[in-house]
Amino acid sequence: MKDRYSEHFMIGAAVNTGHIMGTDAEGQALVAAQFNTLTAENDMKWEQIQPEPGQFDFRSADALVAFSEENGIFVVGHTLLWHQQTPAWVFEDENGKPASRELLLSRLKHHIETVVGRYKGRVQGWDVVNEAFEEDGSWRKSKWFEIIGPDYIEQAFRYAAAADPEAELYYNDYNMFKAAKRSGVMSMVKALLEKGVRIDGVGFQGHYGLGGPDLGNLEASILAVKETGLQVMFTELDISVLPFPDQEKMGADISLDFELQEEFNPYAAGLPAEVGKELADGYSRLFELFLRHSETISRVTFWGVEDGSSWRNSWPMAGRTDYPLLFDRNYQPKQAFHALVELVK
């Protein structure tokens, strides 16, 4: 994949601890062979890298950066600021009361300076802020927003730019094909640019299903970012083949947790050939769009390496068997992989 698409955009994967540390040797070998950009699925999030105040755990992140350097791979740090997977202490003072704006900003600054500073010149891009907007384009009322105010995004980007002036800095969100969300995000992005705050790209997460997204709406969002001169990246791409239990809540809200129901787990015994073909067709349509806009799209990163380790097996309903990626549970290329290779023969 990485070689076939080298003239168009980078091809990446989100890797887990097994891939990083080599305990999943087959997966690690597949990563080195197929991808030229990597993102840590969880190992660089706040709860993993600073679980307690001032106590940093860089073991997995260090291993990922070293592996990437050995293999000439572009590394994306994910993520510096998010409303999820951030320890409760971050938002509290020493008495367990809500932190003040000043205290929370100082913690954010220290975290970014420490993490980005450690990998200065070695991690090439950072998802600075993740998922700051609701589906209707309004600000997500996270604790970051409630305590600091809407300028928390500006401050995060300023801290990151100071910590590594050469690293690329991104905003990342899901359902960016929706007009309302696009409008909210792009208003924020343009405000940053008008203030001279450095931002280099907008990440479209790309957690999709067989029925979507509408490609016309998705293309409109690509063009909206292109008009600003920023890069577009598809940062967390996967296509679930399973029915979603609540169509109104499709996206990537990790707080969703539905009870397991067999009607929403139809392929536990294996993926039917016709569904595999449908998956391949879905990926082909997406990549045909990506190729049309390859001057704007710098990276396409799949959220996982092979089906067995995909988060889609657990979200939004734990215990399901999904098949959202290009490689099966035996690390073998699927019909979808071959379809994408054929697009750029």
Q: How does pLDDT run across 53-65, given as a tens digit for each residue?
A: 999 999 999 999 9
pLDDT, residue 248, reads 62
Reply yes or no on whether the pLDDT at 288 is more than 90.
yes
Reply yes or no on whether the pLDDT at 253 is more than 80.
no
Of 101-105, 216-220, 250-254, which range is least confident? 250-254
The single residue listed with the structure tokens 């293999």 is 71
Q: How far apart are CA 231 and CA 222, in angstroms?
A: 9
CA 280 from chain centre, in angstroms, equals 21
CA 132 from chain centre, in angstroms, equals 13
Identity at 275, one-letter amino acid code: V
Identity at 264, one-letter amino acid code: F
What pTM, to 2 d.p., does this model score? Answer: 0.95
Task: Tell whether omega for the bond before 87 is within 30 degrees of 0, i.e. cis.
Answer: no
Mean pLDDT of the chain: 96
Report the 10 Å Cβ neighbour count for 151. Answer: 14
**Of 282, 290, 289, nearest in space to 212 by CA:** 282
Mean pLDDT of 245-255: 65
pLDDT, residue 39, reads 98
Tens digits of residue pLDDT in 32-83: 999 999 999 999 999 999 999 999 999 999 999 999 999 999 999 999 999 9
pLDDT, residue 276, reads 98
Of 117-121, 123-127, 258-262, which range is least confident? 258-262
Q: What is the SS3 string spanning 222-245? A: HHHHHCCCCEEEEEEEEEECCCCC
Tens digits of residue pLDDT in 180-218: 999 999 999 999 999 999 999 999 999 999 988 999 999
> pLDDT band at residue 315, thresholds of 50, 70 and 90?
confident
Tokens (6 digits) for 217: 């709406």
Q: How far apart are CA 45 and CA 40, in angstroms?
A: 8
Residue 225 or 256, more confident: 225
Query: What's the chain's length in residues?
Result: 345
Rg of the chain, C-alpha, whole Å: 19
Q: How far apart are CA 112 and CA 155, in angstroms?
A: 11
Identity at 3, one-letter amino acid code: D
**What would the CATH number be for the domain defined by 10-343?**
3.20.20.80
Report the 10 Å Cβ neighbour count for 189. Answer: 20
Q: What are phi and psi of 23, to 5 degrees?
A: -70, -25
Task: Judge whether 30 and 305 are in contact, CB under 8 Å.
Answer: yes
Per-domain boundaries in the chain: 10-343
Q: How far apart are CA 302 and CA 277, in angstroms?
A: 19
Q: What percent of the chain has pLDDT over 70?
A: 97
pLDDT, residue 252, reads 59
Tens digits of residue pLDDT in 121-169: 999 999 999 999 999 999 999 999 999 999 999 999 999 999 999 999 9
| Packing angle, helices 215-226 and 179-194, rounded to 10 | 10
- Residues with a known catalytic role: 131, 236
Give, in order, the Cα–Cα distances in Å from 25 to each of 21, 30, 32, 58: 9, 9, 11, 21
